[in-house]
Each structure stands twice: as structure tokens, then as C-alpha cells.
Amino acid sequence: MSEERLRRVRDRVRPFPDFPVPGVLFRDISPLLKDPVAFRTLIDLLEDHVRASFPKIDFIAGLDSRGFLIGPPLAQRLGIGFVPIRKKGKLPGPTESVSYALEYGKAELEIQSDAVEPGQKVVIVDDLLATGGTMCAACELLKRLKAEILECLVVIELKLLKGSEKLNSIPFYSLLQYD
């Protein structure tokens, strides 16, 4: 991976102190999304990583909502489909649902019951991994559908929150890490 390409992406992540609450340093990817060269570079880097790591992959699964911004262009580049994992009540038809804890309460994620077939190989994509609750919930949903989770892939990992440790034996990759 080229340090120059990685720097182009890192330079477009903007810190916001005390958002959404005092004491939190929010990592905003909005400038990255606004810059077509930096965004293309991001997708290039993720594509290079996935192609080098997995010779066979069936789907990219993206988490609501920023995983929807990264997942479809990555899936298109790889020539595979995209599967949305959404907040409860947003998907039509039969769904699988899982509840999980947030720092400030509970939330639920859903996936359509026919989103993947047993044994299909999936990479889960999101913009950021913090405490790991949402990513773990997504893994649980895909396990219920008997998918093979190849990896959890994020743009940004907040290392101090140790979210990747909650993923247990599921491989994890982050492009950028912050303490």
C-alpha cells in the first residue's frame, strides 16, 4: 500500500472535538466523500486489500448508513453484489433482527432473510469501528444466515475503544487507526 495514497485518504478525515458529546473526538469522513480523488483512492485501497486477501468473495455487506457509501462502489469494482444491513424497520419482507447495546441505550439491526445463501462468502464494510457493538450485531445476523464472514473491513478504527477484540475470531482490517 502506497503511503502517499494512504495519506491522501487520512488528510481528508476531519476531527471534531466534543461531538456528539463532550470528551468525544469525532472522526468525520465528509471531506473524504466530497473529494472525488480522495474517495476514489479510498475505494482503490480497499479494493486492493480485498483482492489480495480473498480470491473468492460473493458479497459486500454494508452497515447502515455510512457502510452504504463505501460498500456499493467497492462491490461494483469487485464485480459482486451488495447487501444492506439496516436499522430496524427499514427493510421490506421477511428479515432477521438482532438487538445490541449502545453506549446510551439499545439498537436493532436487520437483514433480509434471503440476502445471502448458506456458505456464501461475505466481507462486512463500515466507515468506523469504535466499541464494536454494531459490527458484532452485523456478524450475528450473517451467522444466522449461515454466511461465511471473511472479514470485517472499516476505514477508521478507534484503537482505544478495543472494538476489534469483541469480534473474536473474525478477521478484521482497518485502513486508518487512531488512539
Any idea which of 96-100, 104-108, 137-141 has the lowest mean pLDDT?
A: 104-108
pLDDT band at 101, cuts 50/70/90? confident
pLDDT band at 21, cuts 50/70/90? confident
Section 6-12 average pLDDT:
98
Is the confidence at residue 103, as pLDDT, over 90?
Answer: no
Is the confidence at residue 9, as pLDDT, over 90?
Answer: yes
Question: Which one of 66, 86, 96, 151 is the catalytic residue?
Answer: 66
- The per-residue pLDDT for 24 is 85
Q: How far is the C-alpha of 131 from the C-alpha of 102, rounded, in Å?
A: 9
Q: Are 139 and 38 in contact (CB under 8 A)?
A: no
- The per-residue pLDDT for 1 is 62
Is the confidence at residue 102, as pLDDT, over 80?
Answer: no
Section 147-171 average pLDDT:
96
Is 5 considered catalytic here?
A: no
Is the confidence at residue 11, as pLDDT, over 90?
Answer: yes
**What is the pTM (predicted TM-score) of this model?**
0.96
Is 103 considered catalytic here?
A: yes
Question: Which one of 40, 51, 103, 117 is the catalytic residue?
Answer: 103
Section 32-57 average pLDDT:
98
pLDDT in tens, 87-98: 999 999 999 999
Task: Locate 54 and state its grid cell.
Answer: 480473498
For residue 119, give Cα distances in angstroms to 16, 51, 164.
41, 19, 23
CATH architecture of 1-177: 3-Layer(aba) Sandwich (3.40)
Domain ranges of the chain: 1-177
Q: How far is the C-alpha of 65 from the C-alpha of 169, rounded, in Å?
A: 25
